[in-house]
Structure formats: C-alpha cells, structure tokens
Amino acid sequence: MGLAPEGGDTGGGLTAYIVHHLTHNTKQFSFGAVHMDSWVVALSLGLLASFWLWWYARKATAGVPSKGQAFVELVVEFVDSEVKNTFHGDRRFIAPLALTIFVWVVFMNAMDLLPLDIPSAAVQAIAGEDVAHHTYFRWVPTADINTTFAMSFTVLLLIIFYSIKAKGGWGFTKELFTAPFHAEGTFAKIVLALPNLFLNVVEYLSKPVSLGMRLFGNMYAGELVFMLIAGLFVSWFTFLPGIVFQSMWAIFHILIILLQAYIFMVLTVVYLAMAHEHH
C-alpha cells in the first residue's frame, strides 16, 4: 500500500518513486547477488507463522476454545480437508507441509497491505533524507521472483522425491523414457525414448515455473497498482479519490492474498498426489 510520493524519496516524481520502491536491497556474495530484504522478511515471517501456530497448539484446551484457538483450528481443519480430498496416501508429512505453505504465503502476501513507505520514512527519521533516498527495502517477499521460484523449486524436489518413493529409482527412470508414448518392440521404444524424455522434462519443469510465476505475477502487479494509486496523493484535488481507490484496491487485494496462497498450496498437494499415485 503506497503513500504520497514526496520528498527525497522520489526526486523525479511518480516514476522515480516507483523505481525506488521496486529496487531491492541487494548484497553481493561470491556466488552472486542476494535480495536481503526478501530473504530477511521471508525468514522473519516464516518464524512468526511457526510461532503463531505453535503458541495456539501449546495453549489448546479440550473445553471452549478462545477466539484465537478457534481461528487456528478452523485454518488447520480447512487445510487438512483440502489435503484429504486430494492426497490419498500417508498425509503425516503432506498436511503439515500444506499448512506451512498456506500460512507462510498468506503472511508474506499480507505485507502488501502495509504502507510501502514505512521503511523509507523510518530511515529518513533516523538518518536523514539523503540516506533514505539511497536506502532500498521491499517487504513483500512474494513480489520477488527469487522467493517464489525458490519455493516452487523446493516443490519440484519434493515431486521428484515422491515419484522415486512411489515407483522406485528404476521405475522413475524407466517412466521418463517410456511415457507418455508407450510402444511395443525394442526399436519403437528406442525411437520414442528421447521424445518421451523431452516431454517429461518439460512437464516437470512447467510445474515449478507455473507455481512461481503465478504467485509472483499477482503480487508484483498488486504492489505496482498500490504505487500507481499513490500518485494520486500528490495533489489535493486527487487526494480524496486516491484514498477511495486505495481502500477499494486494498479490500480487493485481500481476496488476492488469500486466493494465491490457497492456489499455491492446492497445486503443491495436487502435484505431490500425481507423483505419489501415478505408476
């Protein structure tokens, strides 16, 4: 959620304001650049989400639950029912995984509802306007393609693990070269081996790409819309419409936040179910 683009944080108007807020706080390491803001916020929110679930699990009672406990139980039952309807194998790992994904992604997406000028305003209040102008901090981790692809790549590793677990190492390898085009005869199998391998590789890679790009695209677009609406605050004539549009988009964005977390969770479970059950 944006505020008025003003002061040293913008310098060149709305365009500079957007460019500034789309720039990551990057640190260079020997293996490459790391977006420290996305990493720190994602880690902090992951720990916060884990603590939130642990806290209410520890305080759970058999009697009348508190409002907080009732809400957590509602979330857990909702996720568990979704997993039960999709994954028909052993759910002892899948259900907690789905719950972790859903809660964590909701927490990360919800950062988009906070005013994105808070980090710059805090730095400006402490260190001055010049320092704030050169300080970058994006606190919506899911609006960073590195975060969403890291999560989806982990899902890919789980898909491969469950495929090997269900079919065995030889069965998994054999399926790569013999499906989806099944053939009779040695020559036909040899001819179709490479096309089968190509299609299977494309299928496996398309899953993390679709997961990562969908979540990133929606959250990046939502963040950008907040910045564009923030441009209305530069004038008293457009200030009131800006508040109205900002509020309307924030309310609508709550649906996007929850829906994208749900989609990421459900597709992860669906992909793992396909890997576990397909032979």
Instruction: Mark whether 146 is an active-site residue.
Output: no
Instruction: Mark whether 210 is an active-site residue.
Output: yes
Tell me which of 85, 210, 235, 247 is the catalytic residue: 210
Q: Which of 100, 46, 47 lies closest to 75, judged by CA?
A: 100
Peptide bond just before 180 cis, omega within 30 deg: yes
Cβ burial 11-20 (10 Å sphere, 16+ → b, else e)? eeeeeebbeb
Whether 239 contacts 53, CB under 8 Å: no
Question: What single DSSP character describes residue 64?
Answer: S
* CA gap 62, 184 in Å, rounded: 60
- Strand residue runs (E) in the chain: 26-29, 32-35
* CA gap 75, 68 in Å, rounded: 11
Give the distance from CA 259 to its chain's centroid. 11
Counting Cα atoms < 13 Å in the Cβ hemisphere of 18 gives 15
Judging by beta carbons within 10 Å of its beta carbon (0-12, 13-18, 19+), is residue 52 exposed, middle or buried?
middle
Q: Which of 271, 263, 227, 267 lies closest to 109, judged by CA?
A: 263
Tell me which of 38, 109, 120, 218 is the catalytic residue: 218
Instruction: Mark whether 58 is an active-site residue.
Output: no
Judging by beta carbons within 10 Å of its beta carbon (0-12, 13-18, 19+), is residue 194 exposed, middle or buried?
exposed
Tell me which of 25, 91, 200, 214 is the catalytic residue: 214
Give the distance from CA 184 to its chain's centroid. 44
Q: Which residues are catalytic?
A: 210, 214, 218
